Chain A
Amino acid sequence: DGGITQSPKYLFRKEGQNVTLSCEQNLNHDAMYWYRQDPGQGLRLIYYSQIVNDFQKGDIAEGYSVSREKKESFPLTVTSAQKNPTAFYLCASSSNPDRGLTEPQHFGDGTRLSIL
């Protein structure tokens, strides 16, 4: 069954700690994305990757880092530099644009991160 798997579902971070959120997809999509969702704020783009071994900063990349060593995987690290990490984190993937049109994004179930 094709889809996107995010883990863990819930995560707690201590002060000064880095934590890594996992995102795996078996949809054979080239592009992957990380979003942060806060109440009433919609989805804000943290990082995106359009191809393996390449990624770009989104609107709110400060305090986060990513890697894209495999097509299927796009882990997000929330570093201690991110002072307000409590949020719902969503990973998504999509095919690359076809005929100039933006392709629909498929989302994982998300990870809820809280500070202890």
Chain B
Amino acid sequence: GQQVMQIPQYQHVQEGEDFTTYCNSSTTLSNIQWYKQRPGGHPVFLIQLVKSGEVKKQKRLTFQFGEAKKNSSLHITATQTTDVGTYFCAEPYGGSQGNLIFGKGTKLSVKP
């Protein structure tokens, strides 16, 4: 069945270092979404990517959608302690409009 693989599962960085999480799908996607979940909190929508090769930036966060629309990445430049949390990618679920299948997430910890 449809799967979304996200790596790494955990990432520990020193404050100021960069961080990247990758998402790979078993299917060609119409779009992909990214969410952030702070410790003890709930997932919050960050961004949606739609076009092949699309790159979007939000301050220190850079999101990319692969040319073949089967993979995506989130890169954080110069991490801060406020970046701590779990980052999830999510892709549309098969033929079910509106449904998402979530990756298992990458848990980021930042050492001050």
Interface residues of A, Cβ cutoff 8 Å to B: 31, 33, 35, 40-43, 45, 48, 50, 56, 58, 90, 94, 96-97, 100-110
The verdict on B25 contacting chain A, using a C-beta distance below 8 Å, is no
User: Which residue of chain B is the closest to A96 with respect to CB atoms?
Assistant: B98
- Among A42, A50, A103, A110, the residue within 8 A (CB) of B42 is A110
Interface residues of B, Cβ cutoff 8 Å to A: 6, 9, 30-31, 33, 41-45, 48, 50, 88, 90, 92-93, 96-105
- Among A43, A100, A107, the residue within 8 A (CB) of B44 is A107
Number of A-B residue pairs, CB cutoff 8 Å, is 62
Task: Determine whether the beta carbon of A101 is less than 8 Å from that of B104.
Answer: no
**Interfacial chain A residues near B97, Cβ < 8 Å:** 50, 96-97, 102
Task: Determine whether the beta carbon of A100 is less than 8 Å from that of B30.
Answer: yes
A–B pairs, 30, beta carbons within 8 Å = A31-B98, A40-B9, A40-B104, A42-B88, A42-B105, A43-B43, A43-B88, A45-B99, A45-B101, A48-B96, A48-B98, A48-B99, A50-B98, A58-B99, A90-B43, A94-B98, A96-B98, A97-B97, A100-B30, A101-B30, A101-B31, A102-B30, A102-B33, A102-B92, A102-B98, A103-B98, A105-B43, A105-B100, A106-B45, A108-B42
